[in-house]
Structure formats: C-alpha cells, structure tokens
Chains A and B, each alone.
Chain A
Amino acid sequence: MSPDDKWRHRESGPVVRPYAVTGGRTAPADGDVLDLLTVIVATGQPAAAEDAARLTPEHRRLLALCRRQITLADLASDIALPLGVVRVLLADLTQLGAITVVRQRPPDQRTGNDVLQEILNGLRAL
C-alpha cells in the first residue's frame, strides 16, 4: 500500500474530507475559476524557501504533474482529487509564480474551419 493509498478506501474513496487538503478553503485565492480545459505548465521559477516550505504534498504532486503542459481535467483525474479542490491548490501555486496558464487561443475567437478540417482529418484517420 503506497502512502497515497493509506487514506483511500477502495469502495468509499478518500477517508479525508475533500476540502481538508485545502485547509477548508473552497474557493480559489485569486477568485479565478479555471475551465476544465485550461492548460497549465510549471514556470520553473524557484519558489522562495519559506513559500516552498508551506507547500503541501498535494501541491507538490500537482507541480510535478505540471512539468509538461496539462489540462485541469487531466490534473484532477491524475491526482484523484475533486475539481474544486484542485482549483484551490492551483490558485496557490499561481500566486507563488510556480505555474502559469498556457494561452490556447485568443479569447472569444471562434474555432476556424482550418481547425475543424484538421479535426475531421484526424477522426477519419483513426
């Protein structure tokens, strides 16, 4: 049994209440609610020692997963924590400058026909 599994029951899920790992906070510190497909990446900026000391194991696991660009949905699934919890933890990491959002496309720009064509070609080739 790995340490991660210790507080997780096969049937019932984690024994610890979901928002215990955020210290009871249910809203992101910056008030930003990230979309499921927001792509995040570690900045590689070293955190100040005192900040780094405050990071929980969950923060560290998230940060490790962000070495490569990854969506919020993938992060939450990989780390097996509820979305709301992951949003709170990511906001902490953003405030420390440890992660940043990767801009996917200009906001409000409709998906163009060239993209749709690429998706179609990709689906047909599956």
Chain B
Amino acid sequence: MASARSDIAPADARAASPSFIAHKILIAGGFGSGKTTLVGAISEVRPLRTEETLTTASIGLDDLTGVDGKTTTTVALDFGRITLGTKIVLYLFGMPGQERFSFMWDELAYGALGAVILADVRRLDDCFPSVNYFETLRLPFVVAVNCFDDSPMYEPEEVRLALDLDADVPLVLCDARDVASVKQVLITLVETIADRQPATAGRVR
C-alpha cells in the first residue's frame, strides 16, 4: 500500500519548532477608505474568503432575492504579508469597519499587536465603530488620515477633535498608495505598541 502513503510529506520540523513567527496588525476603516490600497502598497494583497452565517444585521443589505434558504454569505477579506528579517512575518489584515461586520471583528482582532484606522475626512463618522471597538478592547491603535487628492484639508487637531481621540492615540497623515508613507504609519503604530508595554525590560528606540 505504498501509494496510499505517497502524499504524506516529510515534515520540515518534528516536534515543530517554529520556522517563523507570525504577527498580526489590523487595517481598519470604513468602506472605500483605502485599506486594500494601503496593504497593496507594502505587500502583495491576497484574498481570503469566509463564509459567515447571515445575521439580522445584514437583512435588507444583502440581496437574498431568489436564494431562499441561503443562510451564509461570503465576506471577502484582504491580507498582506511582510517578511522582516529571517524569522518574523508581519500579517496585515483588512478589517471591514462597517458595524454590520462587527460579528467577525473579535476573530480578526484575536492576538493582534495593534491596529491602523484609516480615515477618510469626507466620511469621518465611518471610523467611529472601529475607534470604539479598539478603545474597548484596549488594543493600541493609530489613526491614519488618508489624504485623497480631492479631500478637503483639515488640520490634524480638527480630525482628532472630531473623532474624540485620547491624547495618547497618534494621528498621522498618510498616502495609502505610497510605500514610504505606509511604512511610516506602521512604524508609528509599533512605537505606540512599545510605549504601552510595562516598563520592565529595555526600551525600544
């Protein structure tokens, strides 16, 4: 019966010491705020499908005409992967910010280091659910205002006021299409996460 065994691969690790360590960062924001663009600026964007049980939250939003008995709906997520050094892989997960997707936020946020909330100044209220969620979760986050070409110019302080952000939440301006800009947003986030660490061992600089 050798053929039955042929597709069982030799493992590259027996008691399996990790060949890389995966870390998660969330990219949240409202519909059209530029989440996919941001992920795509710094890594390859890969699609991920989930089948979610329909809840009353989607009634009236998802068109179910002609699909009587359909009880699940497909939610498409994007994610990107950045390899840092030899052992660290940073995963960026796009998190749909609309309230009706809140049933999947906990799963996405599980184990995350922190989050970037992408804000579009034309629709700042789209950020409220994400801001509330991360505040409640006590997950470190930064707000990155995506500067669209035709968006009205606001001072960062005005945006901070409108979002009612705590003083220790960084607010940065960014261009989600630009790799240097996205890099700076992520660096700001990781610095913020480090600042929230208990001051036991060594400082991050």
A interface residues with partner B (beta carbon < 8 Å) = 13, 18-19, 35-37, 39, 41-47, 49, 52-53, 60, 63-64, 66-69, 71, 73-74, 76-77, 80-85, 98, 100-105, 110-126
Contacts and interface: CB of A to CB of B under 8 A. Distances in A.
18 contacts: A19-B51, A35-B110, A39-B22, A41-B12, A44-B11, A46-B8, A53-B4, A69-B19, A77-B47, A77-B48, A83-B48, A102-B13, A103-B16, A105-B21, A111-B113, A112-B201, A117-B194, A120-B194
Contacts of B13: 41, 69, 102
A3 to B, nearest CB: 16
B18 A102 contact: yes
Given A44-B8, A124-B187, 16 more contacts: A41-B11, A67-B12, A69-B20, A73-B91, A74-B81, A76-B48, A77-B46, A80-B49, A103-B16, A105-B21, A112-B201, A114-B201, A116-B190, A119-B23, A119-B90, A126-B42
Interface of B: 1, 4-5, 7-14, 16-24, 42, 46-51, 72, 74, 79, 81-82, 84-85, 88, 90-91, 93, 107-108, 110-111, 113, 179, 183, 186-187, 190-191, 193-194, 197, 201-205
Contacts of B79: 73, 77
A43 B103 CA distance: 34
A36 to B, nearest CB: 7
User: Which of A45, A53, A111 has the most chain B CB atoms closer than 10 A to its own CB?
Assistant: A111
Given A53-B4, A63-B8, A69-B19, A82 B74 contact: yes
Contact of A36 (B24, B187, B202, B203): B24
Nearest to B9: A67
Top 6 closest pairs, chain A to chain B, by CB: A122-B84, A44-B11, A67-B9, A52-B4, A82-B51, A46-B5
Contacts of A45: 8
Contacts of A83: 48-51
A111 B23 contact: yes
Nearest to A18: B51
A22 to B, nearest CB: 11
Given A52-B4, A103-B16, A118-B84, A36 B183 contact: no
A25 to B, nearest CB: 12
B88 A122 contact: yes
A114 B183 contact: no
Contacts of B19: 68-69, 102
Contacts of B48: 73, 76-77, 83
A104 B7 contact: no
Nearest to B20: A69
B183 A126 contact: yes
B197 A113 contact: yes
B204 A69 contact: no
Contacts of B18: 39, 69, 102-104
A37 B22 contact: yes
